[in-house]
Amino acid sequence: MSFQKLGLSESILKAIADQGYSNPTPIQVQSIPIILEKKDVLAGAQTGTGKTAGFTLPMLELLMQKNVKKQKHQIRALVLTPTRELAAQVENNIEIYSRYLPLTSAVVFGGVGINPQKAKLKKGVDILVATPGRLLDLVGQKSLDLSRVEFLVLDEADRMLDMGFIHDIKKVLALLPNHRQNLLFSATFSDSIKKLADNLLNEPALIEVARRNTSAESIAQAVYHVDKGRKKELLSHLIQKENWKQVLVFMRTKHGANKLTKQLELDGISAAAIHGNKSQGARTKALADFKAGSIRVLVATDIAARGIDIDQLPHVVNFELPNISEDYVHRIGRTGRAGNDGEAVSLVCIDEKDYLKDIEKLIKKDIKKIYEDGFDVDPSIKAEPIQRGRGGQQKGRGGRGGSQRSGSRNPNNSRGSNSSSGARGQRGSGNSRSQSNAHRGSNRGR
């Protein structure tokens, strides 16, 4: 099927063609006609399958069908995302696909000055992409009006719930008109997502293009068993031996990401870290350098990695397995996008054996196990509890903590933590709460 058969206008089709796209992805084939019928949607698809265009294209079409001349643009569509990077990515897609339309868009998130955002909103926009925290700050300062919103999109809704955004989402919903079209897009369907959908959506169409919590077939997965103390050495060895040119590496903590980045640089491998304690400017530069090939390795935490969208990223490495099994699917979904093949490698020590079992149970497949020559595992090493976040202990090997949906209970996800400042778009604009948190490394409102 081609985009021409999906009921989109010539102006939108021209913008799609400019990007070199001719055939829609499965999620786009299913979602676009349903959204054009003005139905609410609960859609699930693996990361990298084109969810953003799946809601952006029909939303633009409907906005144009109802477009009327106004003295000033008013916010008619609101897209909520969990992270700054994802918000910027979504708004960039909206700009691309609306380039031949008389519609304006803007993105607002924390970690940067609020005044330029207020100035742009004052001029009027049709479509607003936002992180929940900064959005509520702007509402509190009476800088935007949500009373005419016709479309609400929750993108990466599962991650927003994991990060404790449910209360902010409820506050936003209370500001919107009752009559609107709701689109909920998620990489996975959890019980909490279904509960949110029950309360938010009106007789929604259910779209699921792949079995829940499955990994894409285009991704070759492998596990390297290695002692914890030799993971850095093995990673450098693999990068150099296999001549990997572009590698996204996942860590559990910001401190760990910084330490690994320094070690890679000492080993002669160009690297940068991206996480919630980095300024927005540093995060933007690191991502741009990585996409441009100026650095070989980008070391990221799960929160910061949402919104990293690179069509031909060849390699993802789990330096540490995630404590939430579903996050494994999110992580490796950064590669193998847009019909390209990808490789996902996990470095697994004895401490993580139950995390690995939980992941394999979730994705319903055994991952290929590799023992690299020269990196024999020491059988005398005993498993130890995994330290998570600021030193809070995760449940031990018998506790099966990897399968728990810790969400906002994770110390790194609490709303006052450093991680929170990155995850929630670093809410605040210089208010007293932001100032009181400044000593904790928060960039809120800066």
Calculate what percentage of the chain has a pLDDT beyond 70: 80
| In the predicted structure, residue 230 carries a pLDDT above the cut 70 | yes
Sequence-distant (≥ 6) Cβ neighbours of residue 183 within 8 angstroms: 35, 40, 41, 43, 55, 59, 151, 152, 153, 154
The burial of 36, by beta-carbon neighbours within 10 Å (0-12 exposed, 13-18 middle, 19 or more buried), is given as middle
**Exposed, middle or buried: residue 268 (CB in 10 Å: 0-12, 13-18, 19+)?**
exposed
Q: According to the model, what pLDDT value does residue 47 have?
A: 62
Residue 49's closest CA among 232, 268, 306, 309? 309
pLDDT value at residue 41:
94
Over the stretch 315-334, which tens digit does the pLDDT of each residue have? 999 999 988 888 888 788 88
Asked whether 404 and 358 are in contact (CB, 8 A), the reply is no
Rounded to 5 degrees, what angle do the CA atoms 87, 174, 117 make?
A: 35
Mean pLDDT of 164-193: 89
Q: What is the pLDDT of residues 250-281, one digit of tens each?
A: 998 899 999 999 999 999 999 999 887 888 78
> 45 near 210, Cβ under 8 Å?
yes
Distance CA 79, CA 154 (A): 6
Q: Which pLDDT tens digit goes with each residue over 195-220?
A: 888 889 999 999 987 555 566 677 89
pLDDT tens-digit series, residues 123-153: 999 999 999 999 999 999 999 999 999 999 9
Whose CA is closest to 260, among 300, 310, 293? 300
Report pLDDT for 246. 94
- With vertex at residue 423, the alpha carbon angle to CA 153 and CA 251, rounded to the nearest 5 degrees, is 120
Residues 6+ apart with CB under 8 A from 380: none
CATH topology of domain 219-403: Rossmann fold (3.40.50)
Q: Give yes or no for a contact between 24 and 50, defined as CB atoms under 8 angstroms apart.
A: yes
Where do the domains of the chain lie? Answer: 3-208, 219-403, 408-440
Average pLDDT over every residue of 358-372 = 92
Contact 421, 111 (CB under 8 A): yes
> What are 4-16's pLDDT values in tens digits?
899 999 999 999 9
Q: What are phi and psi of 255, to 5 degrees?
A: -60, -45
Q: Do domains 3-208 and 219-403 have the same CATH topology?
A: yes
The listed CATH number (3.30.420.60, 3.40.50.300, 1.10.238.10, 3.40.50.10880) that belongs to domain 3-208: 3.40.50.300
Q: What is the pLDDT of residues 29-75, one digit of tens each?
A: 999 999 999 999 999 866 667 889 999 999 999 999 876 555 467 89
Mean pLDDT of the chain: 82
The more confidently predicted of residues 309 and 373 is 373
61 touches 51 (CB < 8 A): no
7-20: b (≥16 Cβ within 10 Å) or e: ebeebbbebbeeee
Residue 404: is its pLDDT beyond 80? no
Cα–Cα distance between 349 and 60 in angstroms, integer?
48
